[in-house]
Chain A
């Protein structure tokens, strides 16, 4: 591209598009502070009572905890399984490398709703519907590709001779990996972990098919509540999710520069 300052017209258009992209989030956050029983923006009177309501409501709290342990657990499991698998795939320690890699990445290209209904039918056949472990493994399935993708691309950037040097100096296979390769992989793994945490926290189209009517995650609870009519408590629950995301994003920026996205 030719380096050139943006024209006035381009600046106005771009800022308008950026506003459009963030408008729904801004509106939800503002509406959650309104001291009215209906949703209104700009908020009329400021109150925290809708947050009090959400944090005091046992169904909302159960949904929040389910979301958090599911996202945390799925991310941890994905990190372990994904890093191990990527290491084996990268160093060609296994046969059928390309087939296995495509299979691991497949949940990324399959429509999520299709994975959801396939799992619904499968766990119903096995009589496992509503089991927390089923939910956890379903989430690992959809978060694993993100970890594998970042780990594979980080491994490509590591000079293999560094780990060989550790072997020559007497380190066992795992020690060499832990002390030499793992620290080099860290930025990539952090990026993969953030993507997988957000993906799990965000997911509705797979999760919704696997829950029993008594179970819920926060996004599924919001999705279901909207069908019965909207009120500021839904906005407050949404704001909590946005706040969680923003905190994750700020923490992430300490480890990974966003230029990594390009």
Chain B
């Protein structure tokens, strides 16, 4: 027994040391930093204070950024659901060759670099970009549309970037629904739309919830796409954390904002796991 325990510690040791020294220690030190006072003159002080959190949650400048980030996450999640459902249904219904092709076309963007994809959207959406040039050329508009450096651009980019996750979670969720349940409802003269909303959607809800939480958490944490498609003035939490650390050099304030973001993300994941576990009870795997 001692021998296997020693072997176990030898196997787990390196990974554990890495996590303790490389993740836990930095997180704890940042938690301490977020509780230090800061002034532009003296920099980071030595007194303990909650003022950074009070500042972040009480100042309208930060509050607006937090609310905007949450609203953005909600819109992106809803759009991913609206676009993900038809695509998942199509993948489940189409023949094997087209199914493989469709799955590859869903996975390929997932593996393509986020910077590259955001850059692609800049080429498409900028005032002299592909879309505006095409619309101007066709005479449909007379001045370029504002598709970038605002909410529209960030939404278009984030939905494209996180849609693959939603589709990859919706497909198995829909696949696992027993066909007889829907067939029974159709026999009982329910309309297809009614069957979809009263039977298919509730039975797929664990997958829907997992996918939605994943997309929401990833969207509110995104740094690259909001910075590239939102520009320097359209601020969300991640870009503001970046600016606090790299430009304003107000590290305690940035650390407080980082913990607010982390708290929201972890709380949502925890809640979703609880709800999904509750819903899965009673549904045969």
Contacts and interface: CB of A to CB of B under 8 A. Distances in A.
A93 interface: yes
Interface size class of A (residues with CB under 8 A): 35 or more
A249 B113 contact: no
Given A118-B27, A230-B119, A235-B119, 19 more contacts: A1-B92, A13-B90, A22-B109, A23-B160, A41-B130, A85-B14, A103-B24, A109-B266, A109-B269, A111-B261, A115-B26, A117-B255, A118-B30, A138-B22, A202-B114, A230-B123, A238-B120, A245-B111, A245-B113
Interface in B206-248: 217, 220-221, 223-224, 227-228, 238, 241-242, 245-246
A114 B241 CA distance: 8
Interface string B163-198: 110001001101101010011001000000000000
A20 B160 contact: yes
Contacts of A1: 92, 174-175, 177, 179, 182, 200
Given A84-B12, A109-B266, A10 B124 contact: no
A18 B175 CA distance: 20
A204 to B, nearest CB: 5
Contact of A205 (B105, B223, B266): B223
A258 B106 CA distance: 11
Contacts of B172: 262
Interface string A1-12: 111111000110
Contact of A144 (B15, B27, B224, B241): B15
A51 to B, nearest CB: 15
A4 B93 contact: yes
Interface residues of B, number: 91
B33 interface: yes
B50 interface: no
Contacts of A204: 114-115, 223-224
A106 B270 CA distance: 13
B124 A23 contact: yes
A187 B131 CA distance: 43
B11 A93 contact: yes
Q: Which applies to chain A's interface (DSSP): helix, strand, loop or mixed?
A: helix
4 tightest Cβ-Cβ pairs between the two chains A and B? A24-B120, A93-B8, A111-B221, A14-B90
A141 B276 CA distance: 28
Interface stretch (B56-64, B96-104, B135-143, B277-285): B96-104
Interface in A105-148: 106-107, 109-115, 117-122, 125, 137-138, 140-141, 144, 148
A32 to B, nearest CB: 10
B124 A110 contact: no
B29 A122 contact: yes
Contacts of B14: 81, 84-85
Interface in A214-239: 219-220, 222-223, 226, 230, 234-235, 238
A242 interface: yes
Interface in A73-119: 81-82, 84-85, 87-89, 91, 93-94, 100, 103-104, 106-107, 109-115, 117-119
